[in-house]
Amino acid sequence: MSVIQAEIIVQLEQWYKGHHHWLRNWLNHRLGNVFDAEDLSHDTFIRASHSKIFLDVKEPRHYLISVAKGLSIDLFRRQTLERQYFDALASAPQDYQVSEEQHALILETLVQLDEMLDGLGHSVKQVFILSQLEGLTYSQISDELGVSLRTVNNYMAKAMEHCCLFQMQLSEA
């Protein structure tokens, strides 16, 4: 273990002792029953300790709150996706007949894809999804969205490029 790693662990323990209770109560009070405050608080400390600036932070509580805010946004995205997915299932009964495990796997994939597609503009995202999920031809997409075939081609390339780069960045980490 390096010196830096040891310092991180010591600080994490100090922070946890000094602020875990406080953060959990704060989150509980502010988020109500929306998210599990205990889990969110715990995850916040872990995430904070992975940050490059962790050892340089002067105001722990300020920092913890901004990290918690980011995490709650992620959680919210996941929840929203879940809700939209089941909402959509209601009008696609054939998709509904799968096991609980499969639903869970599908959701995981959706969360990953959602994050991956996040940087794309809405139109680019639409073109990509219409092609990849709804199986529309470029000509059909062009008609549906009112854009030229050339634009559809460009958007498809742009979206796929973005997705590949995103995926590769992850594996480089």
Amino acid occupying residue 88: A
What's the min distance (Å) between Cβ of 105 and another protein? 8
Q: Which of 84, 67, 38, 155 is nearest to 144 (CA)?
A: 155
Select 6 or 119, whichever has its Cβ closest to another protein. 119
Inter-CA distances, 21 with 41, 42, 75, Å: 9, 10, 21
Distance between CA atoms of residues 30 and 36, nearest Å: 11
Whether 97 and 56 have beta carbons less than 8 Å apart is answered as no
Select 4 or 22, whichever has its Cβ closest to another protein. 22
What's the min distance (Å) between Cβ of 161 and another protein? 4
What's the min distance (Å) between Cβ of 167 and another protein? 6
Select 16 or 26, whichever has its Cβ closest to another protein. 26
Whether 123 and 155 have beta carbons less than 8 Å apart is answered as yes
Distance between CA atoms of residues 47 and 54, nearest Å: 10
Helix locations, the chain, DSSP H: 3-31, 37-49, 60-90, 93-96, 100-117, 122-132, 138-145, 149-172
Select 27 or 48, whichever has its Cβ closest to another protein. 27
Select 54 or 124, whichever has its Cβ closest to another protein. 124
What's the min distance (Å) between Cβ of 120 and another protein? 10
Site for another protein, rule CB under 8 A:
26-27, 29-34, 61-62, 65-66, 68-69, 72-73, 76-77, 79-89, 91-92, 95, 98, 100, 103-104, 106-107, 109-110, 112-114, 116-117, 122, 125-126, 129-135, 137-138, 153-154, 156-158, 160-161, 163-165, 167-168, 172
